[in-house]
Amino acid sequence: MPNAASPPTARVLDVLELLARRAGQPPRLRDLVRDLDLTQATAHAIMVTLCERGWAVRDPINRTFSLGPALGAAAARATAQRSRRQAAQAVVRQLANDLGYPAAVTERVGDELVITTFELGPCQVADVAAGDRLPFAAPFGVTFAAWEDGEGRRAWMERGAITDPALADRLGSLLTATRERGFSVERMGPAMAQAARLMTTLHDDPTTRPVRRMVDGLLAEITTLGFQAGDGGDGDRRPVTAIAAPVFDRHTGQVTVSVGVHPLRALSQQRADEVGRRVSQATTIVNAAIEDDEQLPRQAS
């Protein structure tokens, strides 16, 4: 493949594509050498690695190669992710239309949180947009971190430079309360929201590295106040900035996606809980859709 950014990677992909095309007539090593213009040593090294990883299998009698089970597992995982994304997009549109609040799908990609879908619905005002990114580090991603185990929670706090034991305890209690309730509710007044945005900007600015721990600690304090349990009585006029619930990867049990709404207005605790339960029901639909989709091949076999 000319002008490939990574010729070794291109050679491996060429091999896999050939195995896929020749499923009815599996090739031998000499066929790979001839058809892909590989050296004997290169073809042998690629096939040894692919077979060790389960991406290819070798017939010991005919000495032919075919695609292995690992590729099928990866394809199934990709199908599940696509189904999850489609189901989440559908429920987000429904939530935005039914509740009248902007709604979003947020996905965890490594140590980042990415808003992949955003629906305004009848509302034309929002504080986030599709494509926005945040680090998956305290205090960001409460809905994701709440379902992590102890080690995952500690890693989340360490990435956010949470060193104060009292603050770590408060964040831990926040995660536990969120998990018990099944969804997160974030309340921030205009001044607090503005401060949070400022701290986020400072967090991402390389010139603030010498005071990063101070910035992160202040941001964590602000966010902890925004997520305090028991808020939202009739006298609380702070707007609810986000209500979110988790979508799980059924293989790992981790939260890989969240579905949330952004009311951006004051809500009583009763109303916030009602909306939270509605969002939780929506994520239950997404989780069920993924499970049903993954069971289809087994039912058909």
The domain that holds 54 is classified in CATH as 1.10.10.10
**How many domains would you assign to the chain?**
2
Of 67, 101, 117, at which residue does a domain stop? 67
CATH number of the domain within which 221 lies? 3.30.450.40
Same domain, 80 and 56: no
Taking only the tens of pLDDT, the chain with its 301 residues reads 455 578 889 999 999 999 999 988 999 999 999 999 999 999 999 999 999 999 999 999 999 999 998 887 777 666 666 666 777 888 899 999 999 999 999 999 888 899 988 988 776 666 677 888 888 888 789 999 999 999 999 999 888 777 778 888 888 998 999 999 999 998 875 566 666 666 666 666 677 666 666 666 666 666 666 665 444 455 566 788 889 999 988 778 889 899 999 988 888 888 999 999 999 999 988 877 765 554 544 333 3
Structural domain boundaries enclosing 43:
7-67
Residue 186 in any domain: the answer is yes
At residue 261, the pLDDT reads 94
Same domain, 34 and 162: no
At residue 27, the pLDDT reads 95
At residue 234, the pLDDT reads 55
DSSP secondary structure, 180-229, as one string: HHTSEEEE--HHHHHHHHHHHHHHT-GGGGGGHHHHHHHHHHHHHHHT-T
Tokens of 125: 């005002």
Residue 2 in any domain: the answer is no
Separation CA 88–CA 224 (nearest Å): 27
Residue 230 in any domain: the answer is yes
At residue 239, the pLDDT reads 82
Separation CA 111–CA 97 (nearest Å): 31
Residue 1 in any domain: the answer is no
Same domain, 38 and 95: no
Same domain, 159 and 28: no
Residue 255 in any domain: the answer is yes
Same domain, 16 and 99: no
Residue 211 in any domain: the answer is yes
Separation CA 243–CA 279 (nearest Å): 8
Per residue in 220-278, pLDDT (tens digit) is 666 666 665 444 455 566 788 889 999 988 778 889 899 999 988 888 888 999 999 99
Q: Which residues pair with 187 in a beta bridge?
A: 240
Helix (H) or strand (E) holding 256: strand 255-261
Residue 154 in any domain: the answer is yes
CA dihedral 83, 86, 88, 91 (to 10 degrees): -130
**If phi over 0 gives left and psi between -120 and 50 gives alpha, with beta otherwise, what is residue 174?**
alpha
- Nearest of 179, 173, 142 to residue 160 by alpha carbon: 142
Is the CB of residue 62 less than 8 Å from the CB of residue 76? no
What are the b/e assignments for 252-276, b being 16+ CB within 10 Å?
eeebbbbbbbbbbebbebeebbebb
Of 50, 67, 84, at which residue does a domain stop? 67
Of 67, 85, 107, at which residue does a domain stop? 67
Is the CB of residue 147 less than 8 Å from the CB of residue 238? no
Same domain, 37 and 160: no
- Nearest of 85, 79, 95 to residue 286 by alpha carbon: 85
Residue 257 in any domain: the answer is yes
Helix (H) or strand (E) holding 83: helix 69-99
CA distance between the termini of the chain: 38
Residues 6+ apart with CB under 8 A from 15: 32, 36, 43, 46, 47, 50, 56
Alpha carbon of residue 189 to chain centroid: 27
Same domain, 89 and 228: yes
Same domain, 131 and 202: yes
DSSP secondary structure, 54-82, as one string: TSEEE-TTT-BEEE-HHHHHHHHHHHHHH
Per residue in 197-218, pLDDT (tens digit) is 666 666 666 776 666 666 666 6
Separation CA 217–CA 205 (nearest Å): 16
Burial-class residue 36 by CB neighbours within 10 Å (0-12, 13-18, 19+).
middle
Helix axes 165-181, 212-226, angle to 10 degrees: 40
Same domain, 103 and 18: no
Same domain, 208 and 238: yes
Same domain, 36 and 80: no
Same domain, 93 and 196: yes
Q: Phi/psi at 243 (nearest 5 deg)?
A: -130, 120
Separation CA 19–CA 56 (nearest Å): 8
